Amino acid sequence: MRTQSLIQEAEKYLMATYKRFPIAPEKGEGCVITDVDGKKYLDFVAGIAVCNLGHRPPELVEAIQHQAGRLIHTSNLYHIEPQIQLARLLVENSFGDKVFFCNSGAEANEAAIKLARKYAKDQGREDAYRIICMNESFHGRTLATVSATGQKKFHKGFAPLVTGFDHVPFNNLEAAAGAVTDQTCAVLVEPIQGEGGVNMPSPDYLKGLREMCDQRNILLIFDEVQVGIGRTGLLFAYEHFDVKPHIMTLAKSLAGGFPIGAMIAVDEVAESFSPGTHASTFGGNFLATAAGIVVMKRMLQGELLAHAQDVGVHFREGLNRLKDRHNVIKEVRGLGLILAIELTIPGGGLVSKAMEKGFLINCTADKILRFVPPLVVQKEQVNALLETLDELLAEAE
């Protein structure tokens, strides 16, 4: 079998930074992935909330192929037309005024951290550099973003961490307010915590953070790397909560699977980045932004967002029915097509058993099964997963 051969080669040549499952995907279409041995899987991971248009969407393939046949890379020493076009689409459809492009969510969050500190200095607050972050958050794997991440398991082995990050409980306004000092320059928060377990904010939490930031003259940064670009059923998650940040970070699904990151900011804050303050060789390159244009245009048509809302409601109702049937489900939570069930038992074994039955799902925070399928997922595919989960949960009990 080709899979086993590839696993052996991976063990020989690749650093062991991932605990990979024993499958090797080869091709995909919509919500279906086929491995190198011909086995098919219904994908409810979508490259970790990346492939929102599904696998191999024709318009995305065509755009990348067309651009690759013209020009792939020049660097940001020059003006890049699709980069400008994608920036316009983001600005015209968000709170922001200016965009900085990079290559990943971690890079986007690094840029936001730097911009927040630089803005504070430009405002004459020389000692303001600290950023309030949330417990159970996840912001990336670089040294600064892992320091901002509020999960100790990601810190282990990398001390000393980057200083300047203060962690408080998520969804606790009083704790956030109590952490503000004269050295605080910003609050960094995921509107919905993804890696931390699809943790939802209370209705007034994010709005309360914005009010607090305005009162204390600090910036509010939303990390929408996982929940932006339609994942919640709206273009951006912040739209659900009637609040706008000063800075927002995006990545994952923005280019449908092609690596990209973006930071969006209001003009007053964006002005603190001038030539030489920040840069990226590959950020906003021709291929990534050509792909991003396709994704944004598809989102702005509206049908896919409406579909994600509709299927998300159907999916959540199905998960709630499972909760009524199985005592091992503690809670169902999420919004749109970022959904989760919190279990009373570890979820890793259920992930492996689901994979054996042809379903790709994800476990995070040990006991939380997270579902982030392509937004094109159909109700019939959701029903198939729900039926399999019903069987697996019954076995687990």
At 185-232, the pLDDT tens digits run: 999 999 999 999 999 999 999 999 999 999 999 999 999 999 999 999
d(CA 90, CA 262): 10
How far is CA 317 from each of CA 95, 340, 341, rounded to the nearest angstrom?
A: 32, 12, 12
Residue type, 161: L
Residue partners of 79: CB distance under 8 A and separation at least 6: none
- What is the CB neighbour count within 10 angstroms for residue 294? 23
Mean pLDDT within 44-73? 98
Mean pLDDT within 326-332? 97
Task: Give how far the C-alpha of residue 341 lies from the chain's centroid of Cα atoms, to the nearest Å.
Answer: 18
The reported pTM is 0.97
Domain range 60-299, CATH class: alpha beta
The pLDDT tens digits of the residues spanning 143-178 come to: 999 999 999 999 999 999 999 999 999 999 999 999
d(CA 306, CA 255): 20
Task: Give how far the C-alpha of residue 126 lies from the chain's centroid of Cα atoms, to the nearest Å.
Answer: 32
Mean pLDDT within 25-32? 98
What is the average pLDDT value for the chain, to the nearest integer? 98
Which of left, alpha, beta for 134 (phi over 0: left; psi -120 to 50: alpha)?
beta
List, in sequence order, every residue forming a beta bridge with 338; answer none if it has no partner: 335
- Residue 1 has a pLDDT of 79
Confidence check: pLDDT of 397 > 90: no
The pLDDT tens digits of the residues spanning 123-137 come to: 999 999 999 999 999
- Residue 70 has a pLDDT of 98
d(CA 372, CA 350): 16
In the DSSP assignment, the letter for residue 344 is S
- Residue 172 has a pLDDT of 98
Mean pLDDT within 229-240? 98
Place 250 in a pLDDT band, splitting at 50, 70 and 90. Answer: very high
Report the percentage of the chain scoring pLDDT > 90.
Answer: 99
